[in-house]
Amino acid sequence: MKQYTTEALRNLVLVGHGGTGKTSIADSFLFLSKVNNRLGSVDDGTSLFDYDDEEKKRKLSIRLTVGSFEWDDHKFNVIDTPGYDDFVGDVVSGIHVADMALLLVDSQNGVEVGTSRAWGFARGRHLPSIICVNKLDKEFSTFEKTYTNIRKALGKMAVAVTIPVNEGTDFDTVIDLLHMRAMKYPKDGSGRAKEIPIPDSHMDAAKAARTRLVEQAAESDDKLLEKYFDKGELTEEEVLFGMRRGIVKRTFYPVFVTASKMDVGIGTMLDVIAAAGPSPLDMPPHIAADGETEIHTDSGKLVAQAFKTISEAHMGDMTLFRVYSGELASGTEPQNARSEKGERIGQLYFVQGHKRVDADKIVAGDIGAAVKLKDTHTGDTLTDCGLAAPPIPFPKSVIRSAVIAKTQGEEDKIGNGLARLHEEDPTFHVEVNGETHQTLIHGLGETQLDILVRKLKDRFNVEVELIEPKIPYRETIRKKAEGQGKYKKQSGGRGQYGDVWLRLEPLERGAGFEFVSEIVGGVVPTKFLPAIEKGVVGVMTDGILAGCQVVDVRVVAYDGSYHNVDSSENSFKVAGSMAFRKVFMEASPVLLEPIMTVKVTVPEDCMGDVMGDLSSRRGKISGMDTQGHYQIVNAEVPLAELYKYSTHLRSLTHGRGIHEREFDHYAEVPKDTADKVVAAHAAQKEAEAH
């Protein structure tokens, strides 16, 4: 592949709901541009993009993949992203480094929840966007209905550039409104279209659609608009100029029609994107991680960000980069902005799905890959000017599961394997929970975690089991109480004596713990107060009701006694723990549980089922919002009721519902539930004792 200038680059990320044909479109690009001598297929396992064993087995994308190709004297970098919600982190990563989004919409299903979410990510990034209505070769496809749906859901600035002639199973012809011509594609899937006259039956519709196209292009520039008002028409070059201006300003969302599996409309779409799509130089400068400094593409200073790490069996880790400015060259040693250490750059590549093409350098605006980097991770920046690229805003995890080894003694191997997998997917992370004494893995969905477990076995030869995680309950009190703890032991020689009176008072939720001394007159020497507190803290850490941490309590030591010979730090530590245990049980103890704020996005027809289900999970609905054709249900739900909720929600909504969750606060556990938790803890202790 020859070296292209920044102006000739087009960086395109494919996004949309699962099953809209993103990977098929990407394979079409590489086939039509002659990168691949046959059209790759997800269904038969020959896709250049879905080449991972798990992807072949499941017939869906589970990670971001890049494909570079040449088209009409331009170099395209197409970033194929998963549509399945468990892997939305790669959608965010792809949008972060692209210059425009190609949003795929299924011609039969219209705008779906995944469409809206991807659109929201693109809008949040202020990313120029293009819309592709795909699968128009399917039976009962209706472009006008889908087009109306798009304009209603995504905005009136979505304007057709191509329209179908014969949608449905016979679909093979599109009308190119920019050039006012019809392009007929052969049934052999070669994508070699020939120009034919626009059918008389479609001429009026084509003229009306052409008028909308020209009007939208003219509105992007005052001079164009003035000329259009004066003369009623614009030249092809003027329309292209207006389209490019409108795309960059996000006042124009071109809409194309395609059938990716038959390569219908793909070439026409690429022609227009090459001519009117923005290059990196057309985009506004990126803002560096400091939130202030602008990164200009033509500055000449190196700023290159790693946005994906892929582990390859035959090559090791491969790191994908977007070069925002300057150039990344083999043999150089730029600085990692995070570690402030040099990173030696060895072989560089341009990536074409699972194929690699050697590259000497990656210029400003381009995307490429490096291998065998020592200390550069996803999100890191390589630089020669001290600037760091903006951080990638990966979504927060929504599920968690506990991990246990099937074979004892393999904990270190598990830890190392999980750390390596986190490198590939930063939306997955590991936590060793000090309260529940479990190793937890957090992610975006059950499928994601299941695949990670399989990778642990295949790559690192270690087997684990996923089990339901323990809930980090807390214990606290509801009223004030006081009492004595007295430890006295005499067994010959020096004895043990500690005597302390404690008062426990409830604190506001989240206040933590306070230890206060009101002892006067030296009834307990000051030197023993730390020991009393230590005894109290020890009991609070281990818990009393259900073995859970005690919180939101003020402990006041107000009286006691000591012995000149037998009193010691240990005796007052024991006395403190005894007093706390006794008084705690008299202070109306309760269990607390973590409450999550949950945001569920679902189609309107699923609202009743989802709200009923949340209520059955002890959830409290706090409000509802509208997002296009979807409803957002906001609720507060106990964490204990959310295990495997994403899978249940997917089943409840036929794959159309998604949710986000975040910890909000701790609240009292209902008595019947608390009784079960306490009884289970008692049974476990008894079993361990035997």
Give the pLDDT of residue 245. Answer: 95
Give start-end residues of each CATH 3.30.70.240 domain in the chain.
591-672
Cα dihedral 418/419/424/426 (nearest 10):
100
Task: Say if CB 180 and CB 198 are below 8 A apart.
Answer: yes
Nearest Cα residue to 402 out of 473, 471, 475, 474: 471
Q: Are strands 589-603 and 474-477 parallel, antiparallel or unpaired?
A: antiparallel
Express each pLDDT in 662-680 by its tens digit.
999 999 999 999 999 999 9
Give the pLDDT of residue 655. Answer: 80
Going by the DSSP 8-state scheme, the letter that residue 349 receives in this structure is: E
Task: Say if CB 114 and CB 15 are below 8 A apart.
Answer: no
As a whole number of angstroms, the distance between CA 178 and CA 16 comes to 25
Mean pLDDT, to the nearest integer, of 637-648? 93
As a whole number of angstroms, the distance between CA 381 and CA 505 comes to 51
Place of tokens 């600085």: 335
Give start-end residues of each CATH 3.30.230.10 domain in the chain.
475-587
Superfamily of domain 399-467: Elongation Factor G (Translational Gtpase), domain 3 (3.30.70.870)
Nearest Cα residue to 606 out of 642, 636, 635, 631: 631
List the structure tokens of 580.
């706390």
Give start-end residues of each CATH 3.40.50.300 domain in the chain.
6-197+246-282
User: What does each C-alpha distance from 558 to 187, 540, 574, 576 come to in angstroms?
Assistant: 91, 19, 17, 12
Handedness of CA 250, 252, 254, 255 (dihedral sign): positive
Neighbours of 294 (CB within 10 A): 11
DSSP percent split of the chain into helix, strand, coil, nearest 5: 30, 30, 35
Give start-end residues of each CATH 2.40.30.10 domain in the chain.
302-341+363-383
pLDDT at 316 over 80: no
Express each pLDDT in 375-419 by its tens digit.
999 999 999 999 999 999 999 888 999 999 888 888 888 888 898
Express each pLDDT in 585-626 by its tens digit.
999 999 999 999 999 998 888 899 999 999 999 999 999 998
pLDDT at 248 over 80: yes
Q: 475-587 in CATH: which number? A: 3.30.230.10
pLDDT at 686 over 90: no
Percent of the chain with pLDDT over 70: 99
Mean pLDDT, to the nearest integer, of 628-656? 90
Residue 43, classed as helix, strand or coil, is coil
Task: Say if CB 64 and CB 50 are below 8 A apart.
Answer: no
What is the average pLDDT value for the chain, to the nearest integer? 93
Task: Say if CB 253 and CB 158 are below 8 A apart.
Answer: yes
Mean pLDDT, to the nearest integer, of 547-576? 95
Express each pLDDT in 256-301 by its tens digit.
999 998 999 999 999 999 999 999 999 999 999 999 999 999 999 9
CATH topology of domain 302-341+363-383: Elongation Factor Tu (Ef-tu); domain 3 (2.40.30)
Residue 4's pLDDT band, with cuts at 50, 70 and 90, is very high
Place of tokens 């309590």: 553
Identify the architecture of domain 591-672 in CATH.
2-Layer Sandwich (3.30)
Task: Say if CB 434 and CB 427 are below 8 A apart.
Answer: no
Task: Name the residue with higher pLDDT: 446 or 409.
Answer: 446
- Helix ranges, 427-528 (H): 446-460
The least confident of 192-206, 351-365, 480-494 is 480-494
Task: Please list, in sequence order, all residues whose beta carbon lies within 8 angstroms of the beta carbon of residue 543, skipping any fewer than 6 positions away.
Answer: 475, 549, 550
As a whole number of angstroms, the distance between CA 5 and CA 162 comes to 29
Give the pLDDT of residue 25. Answer: 96
**To which H or E segment does residue 278 belong?**
none
As a whole number of angstroms, the distance between CA 163 and CA 149 comes to 15
Residues in the chain: 690
Express each pLDDT in 91-126 by its tens digit.
999 999 999 999 999 999 999 888 988 998 999 999
Question: Which residues pair with residue 342 across a beta bridge?
Answer: 335
Task: Say if CB 666 and CB 595 are below 8 A apart.
Answer: yes
Express each pLDDT in 72-82 by its tens digit.
999 999 999 99
Give start-end residues of each CATH 3.30.70.870 domain in the chain.
399-467
Neighbours of 217 (CB within 10 A): 30
Task: Please list, in sequence order, all residues whose beta carbon lies within 8 angstroms of the beta carbon of residue 123, skipping any fewer than 6 positions away.
Answer: none
Question: Which residues pair with residue 554 across a beta bridge?
Answer: 505, 514
Nearest Cα residue to 471 out of 663, 338, 236: 663
Superfamily of domain 6-197+246-282: P-loop containing nucleotide triphosphate hydrolases (3.40.50.300)
pLDDT at 627 over 90: no
Give the pLDDT of residue 492. Answer: 67
pLDDT at 647 over 90: no
User: What does each C-alpha distance from 520 to 523, 557, 672, 683 come to in angstroms?
Assistant: 7, 10, 43, 43
As a whole number of angstroms, the distance between CA 245 and CA 278 comes to 8
Percent of the chain with pLDDT over 90: 79
